[in-house]
Every structure is written in C-alpha cells, then in structure tokens.
C-alpha cells in the first residue's frame, strides 16, 4: 500500500504555545483518516501545514510523494481543501464559484464546462447552478465548497470539520458524499472533527489529538475494543438469572441492579441471539436485552484522561458552530 | 508558460471581483453619488466665489481631474477592509490553498479596484460633459486617463492591502482609512493648486502620489500641456510597484 501522506515529527510553535507538538503519522492512499480532538487540539494547524498554508517550525512531511516543504505549489495543485469557515462567495452564482476555481487550477478552457457540469450534477446542485449563492442553505453551501475543490479532481482532499453547523440531514448527505468519493475515485481524505459520531461513522482510521500531540492512532473498532468489550444488560423476573448466566460461562459485572445482569462480551450483537436461546433452554424468560458498545468518547477518555466534551472543548465547539452559523447568515443577508 | 499561468491567475482574481459588480451594479452607481455632489455642490459654489487661482481655466475644469482621482481613492483606500472581511469569511484561506501565487492575488485584487474606478471615472466624465465643463476628450486623452485611473486604483488599493496585513482587523482598517483619506485628498493638488499652500504643506503635497495622478489627468483632460506627464507616470508606476510588492510580501500575514 502506498502512503499518501507521511508526517514525521511535525512541530509548530506560536509565541507561547506549541500548537503542534511533535506528531508523526501516515495516511495510506484511498484511506479516510480522521483527526479527532477538542477545539484547540491543533487539528486545523496540522491541516494547514499539510496544505502548505503555513510553514512548520520543524519536521518533515510528504504529500502524495511530494516533499511539501520544498514544493508547496505541487501539493496545492494535487490537493483540495474545504476549510472550516464557509468559503464560498455569496455575491456570485454557484456556477461562477466553481468556474473561478477551475481557472485558478489552470484547467484548460475546453474541459472546464464539462467538468463543472459533472461536479454540479455529482453534488446535486445542477438546478441551482445559476442562483446566487447567498440564497443557498448551509448544506448546499457545503456541497458547493466540495464541488469547488473537486472540480480539479484532487487526489487528496482535506476537510476541516466538514459537518459543523449543519442539520442532521445535511450532515448525513456530506458523509455519504465523502464515502462515495473514496469508493468511486480512490481519493485519499483527511478530515478533522471534534464529533465522535462523525469520526466513528466516516473514518477508516483515526488519530486522537489533544494539546498538540497525537495520543493514539488506530481503527475506530480497535480503539474501542481497547477500552473493554461490549456490555449486555439482561433483564428478567427469574430469580435464578445470575446463576444461569454464570453457568453459561459469561463474565458478569458486579453491582447490577435487581433483576438485571450486566455481562461483558465481544461482538455483543452476535452474542444476543445465542444467549437468548441458551436462556430459554434453561427455562429463563427474558424481559429485555440491551447492548452498550464503547464509544470513541470512552476511547478519548482513556487516552487523554478527559472527556472530549469537558471544559473548553464543548464551549469551544459551540462557539465554533455559532460562528459558522453566523457566517451562513452573513452570506444570505 | 509560467508567465502565462501567472497572468491568467491575476486576471481570474480580477474577474471574480468584476463578476460581483455585474451581479450588483448599484454599488458602482452609489459610489458615483459623492463625487457627483463634489462637482455639483462644492464645484459650482467655488466657481461662483472665484477665490481659488486656477489660471486660464474655470474652477470646474480645474477640479474635475481631482474629483476623478478622488472617486478612485475612496474605493481603493478602503479595499483592505474587503480583504479583511474575506479573511474572516474563510475565502482567503481557500484561495491560498490553490496554486495561485500570493502576489497574483494581490495584483488581481488591486486591478479589480482599478477597474471599479474606471466605471466611476466614466460616469463622472459623462456628468462633467452634461455640466458643460470644457474637457479635452480625444481617444488618446481618454485612453490615457483610463490608464492613469487604473494605476491609481492599483496603487492605493495595494497600499490598503499592505496595511490590512499589518492591522488585520476591520475596525482598525476603517480608522486608518479615514485617517489617510483626509490628508491624501486635501494635501494634494486635487481641488486647489499646490502654489497657494504654505511651505510645509507643499512638501507633503509634492510627496503625495495623488498629486501626480491629478497632475497627469489634468494635463490630458484640461491643459493639454504634456511636459510633466513623463515624470508623473514614472512616479505613479514606481509607487504602485513598491506598494504591490509590499502588499504581496505581507499577504500571508493577514491569515495569522
């Protein structure tokens, strides 16, 4: 497998802060990699360094085999970027927004029209192409931003908080698009997010970032299994429930509520049917079973010692979301 | 090939601005209102008073080139505010993530400011004609004036962009814009000749690039005496070059 991105010991120091504090990671081609962490963890700084928008204090990085510090313009030609803030121009049409970027990427005039039409259709914006962007909804603006960066067919796409400030529907649409891009075009995608659900739903691998450092890198499933397995809570009126469960060889957790037994297992969804049959065979009537899977939130807690929503994080993300909303409003004014 | 790509980037950046104007032309016409009032209110009144020595020419003839230049610098000096706003919106980050060189962005944007100035200048020339101000309007003089106006817009908008990368916030940009505007306009030969100024102010007016813009425009449109236009153009071009270079060098700073 070829590496799309290799980062070695990257450091970015601003006066008084080490925004990025010696991180190393690599991203394979066709991979969706997520940088997960609270606001201020250094995710956006990392993305901007990779995009050659800012120079790192020290460290090495290659993007698609190009030494990004020596040849920044080559990286920019190959990469697409959707920043966290809304970056479409509200005072021109959707078509024009894409046209300008097609030209800036140096696309030959004879290909432009066709390519723009393609991305507009791909993102479901063709019937609004000639409307002014300040009449678009937030979700449409995000799609237009994707269209702008896709028109050049980037091999590497950087998405900074792609679904911030969007409603659940629009968020789902963006996720589906990101997956489709990877599946259909083999685009390598780096996203940053402070949203556990997003990282879990979208990423092949994630790196958990906290205060400029990468705490851990792995597949969401693997990371979750390191914090312990699934928990099954079985509810029944039968008095012999705890005994029967133990007899069947499950490890139970002490201190369960009366009439309930919590047991630890891996792949809880596979265990449930087997467990129910076994219990029935032994004459135990089950009232309910619930499955609790460990979340990335638990993973974050384990590796950084804090919940992602705690303290600054939550306030920051709210502030962020509000800021994005405000930008939408400004544009549509 | 590289030069071609560079120039095309410059023009695309300018094109972006022009497309905005095309969608909302009212911003151009609203900008014409103030210079039009200068001509019709201030100009007409001061013509009646006859207190300003303008030699063989009427006061309206004398001041029309000054008002042309003024209409351009009013847009250009506040251009940095637009750039700061685009930074706040996230537009600049994305623009800089494309292969476009930052100097091409600066030149493209200042060119757009110049083109905005052209529309206004054309409107003011038409107004002056309606007011029967006697101007030399030959193809050469008109083309010459348009070239000067374009350079003037580039000159002062790149100054504004350079300031934006130092000041980095809209309120400060509004403040500095207003602070610059007054001496820029009144310490120049725009609405009265430098010869009536006290000595210390003359020094400032001679160092003021706007004086050269007005002098060149006046030579072309009013006097027809082109003896000093070479020096005027040289000063305007060199100043524009220096300011564009400064703005390009500092441009990335505006992001941090």
Mean pLDDT, residues A282-302: 86
Mean pLDDT, residues A226-247: 85
Give the three-state DSSP class for B215: helix
In chain A, whose CA is at the least distance from the CA of B24? A91
What per-residue confidence (pLDDT) applies to A315?
43
Taking only the tens place, the pLDDT of each residue in A149-175 is: 999 999 999 999 998 888 898 899 999
Residues 6 or more apart whose CB falls under 8 angstroms from that of B193 comprise B52, B53, B54, B62
Residues of B with CB under 8 A from a CB of A: 5, 8-9, 12, 15-16, 19-20, 23-24, 88-91, 93-101, 255-256
Rounded to whole angstroms, what are the CA distances from A86 to A26, A154, B55, B92, B130?
28, 20, 56, 11, 46
To the nearest whole angstrom, how far is the Cα of B248 from the nearest Cα of chain A? 15
Taking only the tens place, the pLDDT of each residue in A193-212 is: 988 889 989 999 999 999 99
User: Is A82 within 8 Å of A147 (Cβ atoms)?
Assistant: no
pLDDT above 70 for A98: yes
In chain A, whose CA is at the least distance from the CA of B22? A92
Distance CA A302, CA A299 (A): 5
**Domains of chain A by start residue, with CATH:** 3-224+323-332 (3.40.50.300), 229-292 (3.30.70)
Task: Pick A100's closest partner by Cβ from B12, B96, B99.
Answer: B12
Reference B247, options B111, B91, B85, B69; nearest CA is B111
Task: Pick B99's closest partner by Cβ from A48, A77, A89.
Answer: A77
* Contact state of B93 with A89 under an 8 Å Cβ cutoff: no
pLDDT above 60 for A311: no
pLDDT band of residue A314 (cuts 50, 70, 90) is very low
pLDDT band of residue A297 (cuts 50, 70, 90) is confident
Mean pLDDT, residues A3-27: 94
Long-range contacts of B207-210 (CB under 8 A, 24+ apart): B208/B183, B208/B184, B209/B155, B209/B235, B209/B236, B209/B239, B210/B69, B210/B73, B210/B152, B210/B184, B210/B185
Distance CA B232, CA B234 (A): 5
pLDDT band of residue A265 (cuts 50, 70, 90) is confident
What residues form DSSP beta bridges with A190? Answer: A33, A158
User: Is B158 within 8 Å of B108 (Cβ atoms)?
Assistant: no
Which residues in chain A are closer than 8 Å to B89, comparing Cβ atoms? 85-87, 327, 330-331
Which residues in chain A are closer than 8 Å to B256, comparing Cβ atoms? 54
Which residues in chain B are closer than 8 Å to A190, comparing Cβ atoms? none
Question: How is residue A93 annotated by DSSP?
Answer: B
Better-scored residue on pLDDT, A309 or B122? B122
And the tokens for A8?
Answer: 């070695």
Quick one: which H or E segment has residue A189?
A: strand A188-193
Interface with A, mutate which of B16, B23, B108, B252 (most A CBs under 10 A)? B16
To the nearest whole angstrom, how far is the Cα of A328 from the nearest Cα of chain B? 10
Interface with A, mutate which of B93, B102, B112 (most A CBs under 10 A)? B93
* Contact state of A330 with B96 under an 8 Å Cβ cutoff: no
* Contact state of B19 with A96 under an 8 Å Cβ cutoff: yes
Containing domain of residue B42, as a range?
2-255
* Contact state of A92 with B91 under an 8 Å Cβ cutoff: no
To the nearest whole angstrom, how far is the Cα of A331 from the nearest Cα of chain B? 9
To the nearest whole angstrom, how far is the Cα of B95 from the nearest Cα of chain A? 8
Distance CA A263, CA A72 (A): 54
Q: Domains in chain B: how many in total?
A: 1
Report percent pLDDT > 90 for chain A.
55
* Contact state of A101 with B89 under an 8 Å Cβ cutoff: no
Other C-beta atoms closer than 10 Å to the C-beta of A111 total 11
What per-residue confidence (pLDDT) applies to A325?
58
* Contact state of B94 with A81 under an 8 Å Cβ cutoff: yes
Alpha carbons within 13 A on the beta-carbon side of A43: 28
To the nearest whole angstrom, how far is the Cα of B103 from the nearest Cα of chain A? 14
Which residues in chain A are closer than 8 Å to B90, comparing Cβ atoms? 83-87, 327
In chain B, whose CA is at the least distance from the CA of A159? B94
* Contact state of B90 with A87 under an 8 Å Cβ cutoff: yes
User: Is A147 within 8 Å of A120 (Cβ atoms)?
Assistant: yes
* Contact state of B5 with A76 under an 8 Å Cβ cutoff: no
pLDDT under 50: residue ranges of chain B = none
Reference B157, options B230, B248, B85, B78; nearest CA is B78
Taking only the tens place, the pLDDT of each residue in B71-108 is: 999 899 999 999 999 888 888 889 999 999 999 999 99
């Amino acid at each position: 497998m070829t590496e799309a991105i290799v980062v070695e010991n990257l450091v970015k120091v601003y006066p008084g802060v080490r925004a990025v504090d010696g991180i190393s990671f690599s991203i394979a081609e066709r991979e969706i990699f997520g940088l997960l962490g609270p606001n201020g963890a250094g995710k956006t700084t990392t993305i901007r360094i990779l995009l050659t928008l800012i120079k790192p204090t020290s460290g090495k990085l290659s993007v698609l085999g190009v030494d990004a510090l020596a040849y920044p313009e080559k990286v920019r030609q190959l990469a697409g970027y959707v920043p966290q803030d809304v970056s479409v121009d509200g005072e021109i049409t959707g078509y024009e927004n894409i046209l300008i970027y097609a030209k800036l990427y140096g696309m030959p005039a004879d290909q432009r029209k066709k390519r723009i039409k393609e991305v507009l259709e791909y993102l479901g914006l063709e019937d609004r192409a000639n409307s002014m962007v300040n009449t678009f909804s937030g979700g449409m603006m995000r799609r237009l931003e994707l269209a702008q960066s896709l028109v050049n067919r980037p091999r590497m796409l950087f998405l900074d908080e792609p679904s911030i400030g969007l409603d659940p529907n629009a968020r789902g649409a963006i996720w589906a698009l990101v997956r489709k891009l990877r599946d259909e075009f083999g685009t390598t995608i780096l996203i940053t997010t402070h949203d556990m659900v997003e990282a879990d739903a979208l990423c092949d691998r994630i790196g958990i970032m906290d205060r400029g450092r990468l705490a851990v890198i792995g597949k969401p499933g693997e990371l979750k299994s390191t914090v312990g397995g699934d928990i099954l809570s079985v509810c029944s009126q039968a008095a012999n429930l705890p005994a029967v469960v133990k007899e069947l060889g499950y490890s139970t957790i002490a201190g369960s509520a009366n009439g309930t037994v919590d047991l630890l297992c891996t792949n809880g969804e596979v265990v449930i049917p087997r467990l129910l049959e076994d219990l029935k065979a032994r004459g135990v009537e089950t009232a309910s079973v619930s499955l609790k899977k460990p979340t990335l939130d638990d993973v974050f807690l384990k590796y950084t010692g804090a919940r992602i929503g705690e303290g600054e994080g939550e306030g920051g993300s709210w502030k962020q979301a509000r800021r994005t909303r405000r930008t939408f409003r400004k544009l549509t004014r | 090939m590289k030069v071609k790509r560079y120039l095309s980037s410059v023009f695309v950046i300018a094109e972006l601005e022009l497309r905005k104007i095309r969608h909302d032309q009212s911003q151009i016409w609203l900008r014409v209102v103030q210079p039009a009032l200068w001509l019709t209110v201030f100009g007409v009144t001061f013509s009646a008073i006859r207190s300003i020595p303008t030699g063989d020419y009427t006061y309206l003839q004398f001041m029309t080139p000054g008002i042309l230049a003024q209409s351009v610098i009013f847009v250009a000096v506040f251009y940095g505010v637009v750039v700061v706003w685009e930074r706040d919106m996230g537009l600049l980050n994305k623009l800089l993530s494309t292969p476009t060189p930052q100097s091409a962005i600066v030149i493209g944007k200042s060119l757009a400011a110049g083109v905005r100035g052209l529309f206004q200048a054309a409107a003011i020339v038409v107004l002056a004609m309606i007011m029967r101000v006697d101007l030399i309007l030959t193809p050469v003089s008109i083309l010459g004036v348009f070239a000067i106006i374009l350079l003037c817009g580039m000159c002062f908008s790149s100054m504004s962009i350079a300031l934006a990368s130092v000041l980095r916030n809209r309120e400060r940009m509004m403040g500095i814009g207003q602070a610059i505007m007054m001496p820029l306009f009144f310490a120049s030969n725009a609405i009265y000749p430098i010869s009536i100024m006290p000595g210390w102010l003359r020094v400032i007016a001679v160092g003021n690039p706007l004086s050269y813009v007005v002098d060149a425009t006046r030579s072309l449109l009013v006097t027809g005496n082109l003896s000093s236009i070479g020096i005027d153009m040289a000063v305007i071009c060199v100043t524009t070059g220096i300011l564009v270079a400064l703005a390009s060098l500092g441009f990335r700073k505006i992001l941090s």
